[in-house]
Chains A and B, each alone.
Chain A
Amino acid sequence: MRLEWSTLTLQLVNFAILVWLLQRFLYRPVLRTIDARRAALLGQQAQAASEAEAAKRQLADLEAQRAGLAGERAAALARTEEEGRALLAARQAQAQREAQGLLEEGRRTLARERELAQEELRSAALDLAADIASRVLAQIPEPLRVQAWLERIEGHLTALPREELRELSDQLSGGGTLRVVTAAPLAAGAQEQWRARLRAAAAPEASVAFDTEPGLIAGAELRFPHARLGFSVQGAIAALQQEVRSHGPDR
């Protein structure tokens, strides 16, 4: 067996060329593609890691925000509760004030109504008393219902101060008429008696006339031109009613 050195040399050259060819057309392109894919994967991995890190940071931020929200919620609840308590207290105080006011108003209304009722009762009582008095006095004979007052009128005129008596006389001296009003007409004799005694007590030349007003019940009224002197039961009852109404519940 003999070695062909030319063949051996050619095979050496062939192998070197084949190494270059495969390096050029196989290893380098394939490895470049694999490296590119690996780089892309590493890039995606790094991006995923960074995104995961960002997600973790966002999660931490959200947790912090949620914790802050819980604190704010608790503070808001406490604030609202406090405001609610204050509002409730204010409403209660206002309600108490309003109730107190209503109570006072009710009391005042009740007192006013009670006063009105008492007033009406008094008035009714006075009316009843006047009615009773008029009925009782109606049972008394007519001359007695007038004559009894003549003494009193005469005494009153006599007791008047001289100034007032002269003033009344002056009203009659100029042609004025003194009108004597009674509840029932006076008899002629009684009229003469009244005329004489009134002239003697007030003015001797006075003209005296007589009228009737059943509403006087009893007694008489002396009506001067510019003055009036009442001595009737009606006047007494009216004065009593006026006195009662003016003083009210003080009595």
Chain B
Amino acid sequence: MTPGSPLAAAVVFRLGPVPVTRPVVTTWGIMAVLAIGSWAGTRRLRPEPSRLQAVLELLVTGIQSQIEEVVRRDARPLLPLLGTLFIFLLTANVCGIVPGVQAPTGRIETPAALALVVFLSVHWFGIRARGLSAYLGSFARPKPIMLPLNLLAEVTRTFSLMVRLFGNIMSGEFLIGIVLALAGLFVPIPLMALELLVGVVQAYIFSMLATVFIGAATADDS
């Protein structure tokens, strides 16, 4: 990005030649919060669950059931990837509400990385479920003439995943910043609430689309 661009990620420090930008640092913070919270929440699991344990069980089983409703098969192999995707996106999208924190998904690299993860995962699970030849042959369905379009769709849908997430989160942050600069301290509060809603919805949409893509890749043609 061009220097001074509001879309550019600020470099916090450098690890040798590698610049560590602000979204990366924020992501580390989110990872720390999620990891420590998970460790603390699952440290004393009992057969009779406490309130926190019940919330965690509800979160995990809710994500699992959502995945199962889409893929129509055992969701446990997909739970770490898709569950982490949803939890991370939810946390990353709404963390921008914290003063001084910018949502990492408001910069193009994070949505791009997540979209790339989804792109690679779709093909990985598709090949594992159906075999390489069968999976590659599925791109020529229903007619071989559809092969270019299917290949193009693979790229464009991944690109749309990335752009949708980036555009929604980035635009929300920009809008809040502009309104804050023009109107004052408390005026953007409704917009921030709306941004929270948008962040939750985008996390859900991104995760569900990833689930649908993986489900379609692993589905039996018969």
Q: Is A159 an interface residue (CB 8 A)?
A: no
A2 interface contact, C-beta 8 A: yes
- The answer to whether B20 has its CB under 8 Å from any CB of chain A is yes
From B7, B9, B35, B41, give the contact of A7 (CB < 8 A). Answer: B9
Task: Determine whether the beta carbon of B21 is less than 8 Å from that of A26.
Answer: no
Q: Is A62 an interface residue (CB 8 A)?
A: no
Q: Measured between C-beta atoms, what is the minimum distance from B108 to chain A in Å?
A: 6
- Supply 19 A–B pairs (Cβ within 8 Å), ascending by A: A1-B2, A10-B18, A10-B20, A11-B27, A11-B112, A12-B113, A12-B117, A14-B28, A18-B34, A18-B35, A19-B84, A22-B34, A22-B35, A22-B38, A22-B80, A22-B84, A27-B80, A31-B79, A37-B47
Nearest Cβ distance between residue B127 and chain A, in whole angstroms? 19
Q: Are B80 and A19 in contact (CB under 8 A)?
A: yes
Q: Distance in Å from the Cβ of A36 to the closest Cβ of chain B?
A: 7
Q: Select from chain A the residue with minimum beta-carbon distance to B27.
A: A14
Complex: how many Å from CA A32 to CA B34? 19
Report Cα–Cα, A184/B111, bound state, in Å: 182
A11 touches B24 (CB 8 A): yes
Q: In this assembly, does B56 line the interface, its C-beta being within 8 Å of a C-beta of chain A?
A: yes
Q: Nearest 9 pairs between A and B by C-beta?
A: A11-B113, A25-B38, A26-B38, A29-B42, A7-B109, A21-B35, A23-B80, A2-B1, A33-B45
Q: How far is the CA of A1 from the CA of B83 in the complex (A)?
A: 31
B87 interface hit (Cβ, 8 Å): yes
Spell out A's residues near B (CB within 8 Å): 1-4, 6-12, 14-15, 17-19, 21-23, 25-27, 29-34, 36-37, 40
B114 interfacial contact with A, CB 8 Å: yes
Instruction: Give the residue name and chain of the A residue nearest to B19 (CB).
Output: A6
A22-B83, A30-B45, A40-B47 given; A15·B114 CB < 8 A: yes
Whether B108 contacts A36 by the Cβ 8 Å rule is no
Which residues of A are found within 8 Å of B39, using beta-carbon distances?
A: 25
Per DSSP, are chain A's interface residues mostly helix, strand or loop, or mixed? Answer: helix
Which residue of chain B is the closest to A17 with respect to CB atoms?
B31
B107/A18 in contact, CB under 8 A: no
Contacts of B56 in A (CB 8 A): 26, 30
- A18 and B76: CB pair below 8 A? no
Contact B108 A3 (CB under 8 A): yes
The interface bits of chain B over 75-87 (1 if a CB of A lies within 8 angstroms of the residue's CB, else 0) are 0100111011101
Contact of A36 with B47 in the complex, beta carbons under 8 Å: yes
12 further interface pairs, Cβ-Cβ under 8 Å (given A1-B108, A12-B116, A34-B60): A4-B21, A6-B19, A11-B113, A15-B114, A15-B117, A22-B35, A22-B83, A27-B60, A29-B45, A33-B47, A33-B49, A34-B61
Which A residues are in CB contact (< 8 Å) with B112?
3, 8, 11
B107 touches A7 (CB 8 A): yes
The contact of B57 among A6, A10, A17, A33, by CB within 8 Å, is A33
Docked CA distance A10–B39 (Å): 24
A105 to B31, CA, bound (A): 125
Interface centre among B9, B27, B81, B116 (most CB of A within 10 A): B27
Within the complex, the shortest CB–CB distance from A169 to chain B, in Å, comes to 149
